[in-house]
Amino acid sequence: MILAIDSSQSSGSIALKSGDRVVYSANFDIKITHSETLMPAIDHAITFCGAAKKDLEAVYICNGPGSFTGLRIGLATAKGIAFGLNIPLYAFSSLQLCALPATGLGKNILGCIDAKMKEVYFALYSTDFQELIAPQVISPAELAKLDMGEFILCGSASPIMEPLLTASGAKFYPMNALLQIPNAAGLFMLGEFFPAQNTPRNIADLEPLYLRESTAQIRSKNQA
């Protein structure tokens, strides 16, 4: 059985895979932190499936960009489980995960996540899900000015970007709102699209993909 975890944003998601089947998938977006929800959700999922932690064979984690606190909690949880059970740990980008539902639709894919502080994280992928623009952080206005061809808009920053992209004359297609919700089960598929990443990571060395300083660090500098 394989466990997938995404705590990169305010919402969270976990999934379990047994063989070729996803046997459990759950999303949660409630007013308590991932530190309070993640382990209870994992414990419940494993018990619900009639399994035990010792049955886990690997862990997949979404390691950013996204919420600094969420990423730290998710990665610490994934590392603890992988280290404790001596099983491999795999990591993929939250931008890859949010863009996944738009694959196979014949358009470029813009994955964008609300980074707060009037910025967004984004990456652009081709019609066959190859990276055209690597993950980076930018202001929404600057992103709207980029020439990205015809594309599908995905991710939590979509409501921020839609009016700006419309005003700029961009030719884009918003993803259905239900498909904007990140689902950790998608992590099981990302290895097929990004085989170079589909290798176990060194648990000690793996760090979250932050792309910038935290909100607290930025505010501290602005107040200095």
Tell me what pLDDT residue 64 has.
94
* Contacts of 130 by beta carbon, 8 Å cutoff, 6+ apart: none
Task: Give the pLDDT score at 34.
Answer: 64
What's domain 95-180's architecture? 2-Layer Sandwich (3.30)
pLDDT at 177: 85
For residue 224, the model assigns a pLDDT of: 46
Do 74 and 34 contact (CB within 8 A), yes or no? yes
pTM for the whole structure: 0.90
Q: Are strands 58-62 and 89-92 parallel, antiparallel or unpaired?
A: parallel
Output the CATH code of domain 2-94+182-223: 3.30.420.40
Is 2-94+182-223's fold the same as 95-180's?
yes
The string of DSSP letters for 126-177 reads -TTS-EEEEEEEE-HHHHHHS---SEEEESTTHHHHHHHHHHHT--EEEPPG
Size of the chain in residues: 224
Query: Which residues, including other chains, have CB under 8 Å from residue 34's CB and lie 6 or more apart?
Result: 7, 12, 69, 70, 73, 74
Q: What is the pLDDT of residue 37?
A: 84
Give CA torsion, residues 216, 39, 91, 29, to 10 deg: -60
Per residue of the chain (224 residues), what is the pLDDT tens digit?
Answer: 999 999 998 888 999 999 999 999 999 886 666 677 899 999 999 999 999 999 999 999 999 999 999 999 999 999 999 999 999 999 999 999 999 999 999 999 999 999 989 999 999 999 999 999 999 999 999 999 999 999 999 999 999 999 999 999 999 999 988 888 889 999 999 999 999 899 999 999 999 999 986 444 444 444 44
Handedness of CA 34, 15, 3, 136 (dihedral sign): negative
Indicate the domain borders of the chain.
Answer: 2-94+182-223, 95-180
Virtual CA dihedral for 1, 52, 55, 84, nearest 10 degrees? 110
Q: Name, in order, each residue with C-beta under 8 angstroms of 32's C-beta and a sequence gap of 6 or more.
A: none
Cα(202)–Cα(223) distance, integer angstroms: 38
Q: Which pLDDT does position 186 carry in this prediction? A: 96
Residue 131's DSSP bridge partners are: 125
Return the pLDDT at 213.
66
